[in-house]
Amino acid sequence: MLRVLGSARRACDGITRRDMLHAGGLSMAGLSLDRFLGLKAAQASTPQGNLAASFGKAKQCIILYLYGAPSQLETFDMKPEAPVEVRGTMQPIASTLPGLDVCEHLPKMSRIMDRTTVVRSVTHPYPLHGVAFAMTGVPTIDVAMELNPADLKHHPYFGSCVEYLDSQARGGRPGDFVQNVALPFHFSSQRSDQPFRAGPYAAYLGSAYHPVWTEFHGKGTKSCRKWRPGFEYIGPEPYLGCTDDSHFRLSDANQLPDLTADRLNRRRSLLEQFDASRRDLDASAAGASLSKFQQMAFSLVGSPKVSDALDVRKESRETRELYGMQLFGQSCLAARRMLEAGTKLVSVFWDEFGLAGDAWDTHYDHFPRMVDQLLPGLDQAYTGLILDLERRGMLDETLVVCISEHGRTPKVTPQNNGGRGHWSQAYSALFAGGGIAKGNVVGATDQQAGHVTNRPVSPKDLLATMYHLLGIDPHTTLPDRTNRPMPLVPGDSSVVAEMLT
C-alpha cells in the first residue's frame, strides 16, 4: 500500500483519470499538478521488501522530547569498565533485552526493554540545543536560529508536516478532530530570563500548522533548588510531583483572534507574538488560505470532545499512578487520551521550568539531578505509557519516540558538583510500537560512549524512519513561501531498516 501525501491510494501503472481529478482538487489547496506528478514518481521508488511491509504501520504517534539532552552514559549506553571520570557513580542493571543493561535508576524501564528498539549511534555535528535540527528538515542550525522561532531559515516541525500532508490528502480540509497537539505548555514559556526557543513550529507552512498547545493547570507538590551562575530558582517543581487536580486545557493562544487587545497583551501568547512577526505571510494569498484553514481547525479545537480528552482527572487513580503523579507522566497520560479521541500526533516536552538551562541540561549537579529530579519521572512515565498502550491494544499502531537534541560529554567535569557538557557525536534514542522491532539495539559506541563505532544514524535518518512508518514518503517535498519544493528531510537521509519489524 503506497500513499500520495499520506493518503490511502494504491499505486498503479501510470496516472489514471481519477488521479488527474484528484490532482486538480489538490491544486485548489496549493498542490500544483507538477508537484503531484513529482510525488507520484517519488512514491514509485519507495523501497520494497522489509521497508515496503513497514510503510504506514503506525496510524498515530507520540513524541516524548527530553529537552536539554540526557546522558547516554546514565541511561542506555553505560560503560562500567571505563574510568570513573567517564562512567560516573551509577551502576548498570540487566534488562529484559539480553545484552542491554540500563541505569540502576531505571528499574521499571529495564522490564520493558524487550518492547523497544534502542538506537545507540545517533550522531551529528551540532552540540547545541537545536530542537529544530532534531525535529525538522533544516540542514543546519546555530544559536541565533535556536533562540528565534521566526527565523526565516527554519523548516517546519515534524508534527506540522504530518498535519499538513494529511490535510492535503483531504483536499486542504482539516480532519474531524485536532491532529497535532503539544503538551504540557508552550515550549520554553515557563523559564526565566531567556527568549523563546525555536523548534516546534510550522515555519513556512504558516501558523495554521503550529501544534495546538495546552496549558497545565495544577501545582507542584515538591520543591527544589535549581541554579546556574548568576541565576537561581527555589520553588515547586511539577516534574517532581503534582496535585491530584492537575489537568490540561487548551491554551488561550489557540483561540480565534477575536480577543481584545488588552487581553492579548496580558496573556502575551507565544502564538500571537510569532504571528505578529509573520505579517508578510498573512498578507499574502497563501496566508489568507491558511487563515481560512485555521478558522475551520479552531472550530474543532473548541469542542467539548477535546476538553474531555485532555482532562486526565477522568482516569482511575490506578491509571494515573501507573504514569506517575508528576507533570511528565500526566502529560503522557493526556497524550494517550488524545490519541484515543482521534488525534494523530501528540508531542510531550519535558521542558525547562523556572530556570533557563533546566530540564535535562545537566551542566551542574549532574548526578544528584539525575537521581532526584530526572530519571525517576522518566522511568515511571515511559513505562506507564508503553504498558498502558499495550494493554489497550494500541501499541502496535502507535509509534512512540523518545528523543532529544544531543547527548552529554563522556568525561565528567569536576566543577559545579560534577557536570556533563553538550555532546552530539554519539547519543541514544528509544522507539517502540507502530512497526518498530521489539527487543532491538541499533549501532554501538566506543569504550567511553563518545564516538560511534557501528551504524551511525543522523537525526534526519530518524525523521525519515518516522515519516515512513506513518505512511509518508520521506522524499516528499513541501512548498516554501515562494512555492519552491523543499524536502521533508535532506536528500542524503534514509530510513533505518534495522529499526523496523
- pLDDT reported for residue 175: 75
Q: Is 145 helix (H, G, I), strand (E, B) or coil?
A: helix
Task: Answer whether residue 115 is part of any domain.
Answer: yes
Answer yes or no: is pLDDT of 202 > 50: yes
- pLDDT reported for residue 457: 98
Asked if residues 469 and 58 have their Cβ atoms less than 8 Å apart, the reply is: yes
- DSSP H helices, 231-284, are 261-267, 270-276, 279-282
Give the phi and the psi of residue 165 in degrees, each rounded to 5: -65, -35
- Rounded to a whole number of angstroms, the distance between the first and last alpha carbons of the chain is 16
pTM score: 0.84
| Range name among 57-61, 261-265, 369-373 with the lowest pLDDT average | 261-265
Q: What CATH code is carried by the domain that includes residue 180?
A: 3.40.720
Answer yes or no: is pLDDT of 9 > 90: no
Which residue type sits at 104? E
The whole domain housing 62 covers 46-499
Mean confidence (pLDDT) of the chain: 85
* Cell, residue 305: 470532545
pLDDT, greater one: 70 or 52: 70
Task: Answer whether residue 31 is part of any domain.
Answer: no
Report the alpha-carbon distance of residue 358 to residue 360 in Å, rounded.
6
Q: Which residues contact 252 (CB under 8 A, 6 or more apart)?
A: 215, 259, 267, 269
Q: Which residues contact 16 (CB under 8 A, 6 or more apart)?
A: none
Q: What share of the chain is helix, strand, coil (3-state, %, to 5)?
A: 35, 20, 45
Arithmetic mean of pLDDT, 11-32: 37
- pLDDT reported for residue 295: 60
Task: Answer whether residue 171 is part of any domain.
Answer: yes
In what side-by-side order are the strands of the sheet with 60-66?
247-250, 212-217, 180-183, 345-350, 60-66, 398-403, 427-432, 116-122, 440-442
- pLDDT reported for residue 304: 87
Helical packing angle, 158-169 and 459-469, nearest 10°: 30
Task: Answer whether residue 127 is part of any domain.
Answer: yes
| Range name among 190-194, 221-225, 317-321, 431-435 with the lowest pLDDT average | 190-194
- pLDDT reported for residue 254: 56
pLDDT bin (cut points 50, 70, 90) of residue 356 is confident
- pLDDT reported for residue 50: 74
Report the alpha-carbon distance of residue 330 to residue 228 in Å, rounded.
28
Task: Answer whether residue 28 is part of any domain.
Answer: no
Task: Answer whether residue 494 is part of any domain.
Answer: yes
pLDDT, greater one: 388 or 299: 388
Q: Is 72 helix (H, G, I), strand (E, B) or coil?
A: helix
Report the alpha-carbon distance of residue 45 to residue 42 in Å, rounded.
5
* Cell, residue 451: 564516538
Residue 204 has what DSSP assignment? G
Task: Answer whether residue 219 is part of any domain.
Answer: yes
Number of domain units in the chain:
1
pLDDT tens digits along 135-155: 999 999 999 999 999 999 999
Asked if residues 377 and 328 have their Cβ atoms less than 8 Å apart, the reply is: yes
pLDDT bin (cut points 50, 70, 90) of residue 408 is very high
Task: Answer whether residue 1 is part of any domain.
Answer: no
pLDDT bin (cut points 50, 70, 90) of residue 251 is confident
- pLDDT reported for residue 467: 98
- DSSP H helices, 10-142, are 17-27, 33-44, 50-54, 84-87, 107-110, 131-135
pLDDT, greater one: 174 or 158: 158
